[in-house]
Amino acid sequence: MSNKFPQIKKLIIPAAGWGTRFLPMTKIIPKELVPILNRPSIDLLVDEAIDSGIEEIILVISTRKQEIMKYFEPNILLENELKSKQKHELLKKIRKTNREAVIRVVYQYEQLGLGHAILVGAKFFNDEPFAVILGDDLIQSDVPVTKQLMNMYAKCGSSILGVQEVEENDLNKYGIIIPKLDEEKNNNFFEIKGAVEKPEIKNAPSNKAVLGRYIFNYSIVKHLEKKLKNLEEDKELDIVDTFADYMKEEKIFAYEFEGIRFDLGSIKGFALATIHYALKNEEIGGDIKSHILKLAKAMG
């Protein structure tokens, strides 16, 4: 099949937030560097992007969080040390984190919301479609979720939101989509009519939440710019704020991706992700499992 639509090569990871739910730790450590086992969570997200075929990642951070980029720069002293000690496997692991060639850091000097972060990042793109990964959403899947969305983009050429059903109690934590007609029934890829940011539970238009994966055609940028110009004081620019205007010109689709998603924006989500990855880890999985079973039995 020839490619009718441009290939997605660029991606934005907004990571400028304060991480207030993780205070006091985030006083000194950016949340993105907190590990799931032995890897900072941001490393797993960068891998998702690269495994999906992304060639350039724009990391949108605040000036307080420059350590994040240090993780992706070579550490020659460490590499020499490992080389001299013949620790080849470790050396390979360390070198895999040298991602300077694909990651570009961009500073978000004002914290004006997700829409603003995306705008800050997209300024470096030239009329190309791009993907977005949010740092709070870690998704474990066989096919990387960004790749799943890219496969859908190749079919339709429209902007796509990655969605999944969430519990009723959580509907007020996310952007919730309004499906078009009954299209979403028995269908994991469908057009939407709109989305509402963090609705009251009783007013939620569906049970499908946007969970930190997006593909946008570049035309979203002009709508973000327009909304930013008219942003009221003390308000943030949410990406969903642009959808109504955008959809007067172009369609937006939702794709119910496959994968287990962890909310790294909450301590509970972080703990669950850690347990999940620990249980799946070849080296320690067995021990972790017997510990959990023993503990669960003792707790009754």
Q: Which residue lies nearer to ligand G1P by CB, 160 or 211?
A: 211
Both tokens of residue 279?
């249980």
Site string for ligand G1P, 253-272 (x = CB under 6 A): ------------x-------
Q: Which residue lies nearer to ligand G1P by CB, 271 or 279?
A: 271
User: Closest distance between ligand G1P and the C-beta of residue 136, in Å?
Assistant: 5
Phi, psi angles (nearest 5°) of residue 112: -110, 20
Phi, psi angles (nearest 5°) of residue 299: -80, -15
Q: How many CA atoms are closer than 13 Å to the CA of 256, on its beta-carbon side? A: 15
User: Closest distance between ligand G1P and the C-beta of residue 60, in Å?
Assistant: 13
Q: How far is CA 129 from the centre of its chain?
A: 17
Site string for ligand G1P, 172-191 (x = CB under 6 A): --xx----------------
211 binds ligand G1P (CB under 6 A): yes
User: Closest distance between ligand G1P and the C-beta of residue 158, in Å?
Assistant: 18
User: Out of 43, 48, 184, 238, which residue is the one contacting ligand G1P (CB under 6 A)?
Assistant: 238
User: Closest distance between ligand G1P and the C-beta of residue 134, in Å?
Assistant: 5
Contact 178, 195 (CB under 8 A): yes
Q: Which residue lies nearer to ligand G1P by CB, 259 or 265?
A: 265
Residue nearest ligand G1P by beta-carbon distance: 175
48 binds ligand G1P (CB under 6 A): no
User: Closest distance between ligand G1P and the C-beta of residue 265, in Å?
Assistant: 5
Both tokens of residue 120?
């800050």
Distances in whole angstroms, Cα of residue 259 to Cα of each of 4, 88, 141, 256? 28, 33, 4, 10
Contact 230, 112 (CB under 8 A): no
Give 218's contacts (C-beta < 8 A, 6+ positions apart).
122, 125, 127, 128, 129, 130
Q: Which residue lies nearer to ligand G1P by CB, 20 or 84?
A: 20
Distances in whole angstroms, Cα of residue 181 to Cα of each of 3, 152, 192, 199, 299? 30, 20, 8, 20, 48
Interacting positions 99-138 with ligand G1P (CB under 6 A): 114, 134, 136-137
Single-letter amino acid code for the residue at 62: S
Measured at the alpha carbon of residue 117, what is the angle toward residues 114 and 122, in degrees to the nearest 5? 125
User: Closest distance between ligand G1P and the C-beta of residue 263, in Å?
Assistant: 7
Q: Which residue lies nearer to ligand G1P by CB, 82 or 242?
A: 242
User: Out of 183, 191, 197, 225, which residue is the one contacting ligand G1P (CB under 6 A)?
Assistant: 197
| Cα 257 from Cα 248, distance rounded (Å) | 26
Q: Which residues bind ligand G1P (CB under 6 A)?
A: 114, 134, 136-137, 174-175, 197, 209-212, 238, 240, 265
